[in-house]
Amino acid sequence: MKSNTITQENIKILMEIFYEKIRKDENLGSIFNNAIGTSDKQWEEHKIKIGNFWSGILLGKGDYNGQPLKKHLELPSFPEEFFEIWLKLFEESLDKIYNEEMKNVILQRAQMIASHFKNMLYQ
């Protein structure tokens, strides 16, 4: 049964599903591996960090203290279309965990973040 609530536990599951997809993606995998590293330990740290980011946004708690836009600005350039791939993989991951209403709440936030990042990176 898909969840109708957002919890720290299902955010953690979301990170597992989503980043497994990212690591395997032909377009995004190498970008993320170059930025994060290739070891499982590095990926675990990243999933915890980004899980905290989403906990802060969605639940108002978590200890994320990074600068996500700055991190993206520091990456080697990549095609703007890759944001659409990222969103598609994120939506697929959400769909495995949340009911339609919760999926749409989270996806709307992700779309706003992606739009802001795209504006900063490509405008």
Q: In this predicted structure, what is the pLDDT of residue 110?
A: 97
pLDDT at 11: 98
pLDDT at res. 115: 96
Separation between Cα atoms, residue 53 and residue 62, nearest integer Å: 7
For helices 40-59 and 29-36, the axis angle rounded to 10 degrees is 100
pLDDT at 123: 86
Domains parsed from the chain with CATH numbers: 8-122 (1.10.490.10)
What mean pLDDT comes out for the span 93-113? 97
Contact 31, 72 (CB under 8 A): no
For residues 13-28, give the mean pLDDT.
98
Q: What is the pLDDT of residue 21?
A: 98
Q: How far is CA 122 from the centre of its chain?
A: 19
List the Cα angle 24/15/108 in 5-degree steps: 105
C-alpha span between 25 and 81 (Å, rounded): 14
- pLDDT, residue 96, reads 97
pLDDT in tens, 32-79: 999 999 999 999 999 999 999 999 999 999 888 888 889 998 999 999
